[in-house]
Amino acid sequence: MISIIIPTYNERENLEELFERISRALRDHEFEIIVVDDDSPDKTWEKAKTLGKIYPVKVIRRTREKGLSSAVIRGFKEAKGDIFVVMDADLQHPPEVIPKLIEAIENGAEIAIASRYTKGGKVENWYWWRKLVSKGAIMIGRVALPKIRNVKDPVSGFFALKKDVIAKTDLTPVGFKILLEILIKGQYERVVEIPFTFGLRRAGESKLSQKQIINYLRHIYRLMRWEGEIDRLIKFSFVGLSGIFVNEGALLGFVEFLGWDKRLAVLPATELSILNNFIWNDIWTFKDLKRKPFHLRLLNFHLAALTGALVQWVIYLILLYMGLHYLIANLIGIGFSFIVRFIFNRNITWG
């Protein structure tokens, strides 16, 4: 049995075609449709109930709660099936894709995502900047949360999953991207992406536009904390700080006690600080992540340091050119270098 969960807000005009196309697509399956409506002013819930005489629809009309993610979570609670499908009501998610999602699940995936960004998928009628924002947001998510780095469209609102994926999981209804929450917190081995074309809204209007980005970033931050990535970032900063002391201390020693040339002594001092940072990151920051052999970790850590230094220098030059004070330019460069080194090390050195 398949449970199709559809959150709605002012979608009255879309329901009939939606239910008809779902029923046709799933004529070989046993299914139920669960509409979770937040007391829409256009009485979507009423229309859904009326159509319930023809189609297997269960209507939940929420009057106290609002929000897309919490509506989907409520739908999960009410669902009787072994496979859950989540989709929008506005026909931007073509029901004809549902059988492909189900098939992927039956073939062994626990989560099947209808994906705009996997090969063959696309978005209709978006300006280039709309696409850029969408892809940029996804890239941030994939970099911040290495667990999903291979998922091309982790924020799709159209997906299927086995009910066991979330049976033991406490999903928090923050943000609009419930799939992100499931991909991070759920229990699963295999995710499959099925390409589809995200079409035009049939009737009604979009509720999710502005404010989305801030909300999304907050959601990512919460999930990073949940994953322990923020802890890692903090440890990485402390290690970096310790490296400054090692670097300065070694330089002092080389120059004052060994009498080395100042211009050259900075190089072994820097190398010592890199080694210091490597060791601490290896036994502390990323200790649970050792997969590559030691010499490759060491090599990659050096490459990260080098990349970071180059990035720092380039940013520094750009900002100087733009007229910033050189100390501020350098500070911003250091900030970028820090981020680049963290991402490099998290995903490659210990990835």
Ligand X SMILES: Nc1nc2c(ncn2[C@@H]2O[C@H](COP(=O)(O)OP(=O)(O)O)[C@@H](O)[C@H]2O)c(=O)[nH]1
Binding site residues, Mg ion, CB under 5 A:
88, 90, 92
Helix (H/G/I), strand (E/B), else coil: 234: helix
Q: Contact letters (x/-) for ligand X, 189-218, by CB under 6 A?
A: -----------------xxx----------
Tokens 């879309």 correspond to: 14
The smaller minimum CB distance to Mg ion, of residues 179 and 319, is found at 179
Cα gap 313→329, rounded to integer Å = 10
Neighbouring C-alpha atoms within 13 Å toward the C-beta of 310:
6
Q: Does 4 bind ligand X (CB under 6 A)?
A: no
Beta carbon of residue 327, minimum distance to ligand X (angstroms, whole number): 43
Residue 288 per-residue DSSP state: G
Contact 182, 5 (CB under 8 A): no
Choices 3-11, 104-112, 220-228, 303-311 (CB under 6 A): range interacting with ligand X: 3-11
Cα gap 222→263, rounded to integer Å = 45
The smaller minimum CB distance to Mg ion, of residues 88 and 282, is found at 88
Beta carbon of residue 47, minimum distance to ligand X (angstroms, whole number): 13
| 38 contact choice in Mg ion, ligand X, none (CB below 5 to 8 Å, kind-dependent) | ligand X
**Of 34, 38, 84, 239, which one interacts with ligand X (CB under 6 A)?**
38
Dihedral, 151, 154, 160, 165 alpha carbons, nearest 10:
80
Q: Which amino acid is at 116?
A: R
| 89 contact choice in ligand X, Mg ion, none (CB below 5 to 8 Å, kind-dependent) | ligand X
What token pair was written down for 150? 């291979």
Q: How many CB atoms lie within 10 A of CB 350?
A: 22
Q: Does 66 bind ligand X (CB under 6 A)?
A: yes
Site size with ligand X, rule: CB under 6 A:
19
C-beta nearest to ligand X: residue: 206
The smaller minimum CB distance to ligand X, of residues 36 and 239, is found at 36
Neighbouring C-alpha atoms within 13 Å toward the C-beta of 19:
22
Helix (H/G/I), strand (E/B), else coil: 29: coil
Beta carbon of residue 166, minimum distance to ligand X (angstroms, whole number): 18
Q: Which residues bind ligand X (CB under 6 A)?
A: 7-9, 11, 36-38, 66-68, 71, 88-90, 92, 157, 206-208
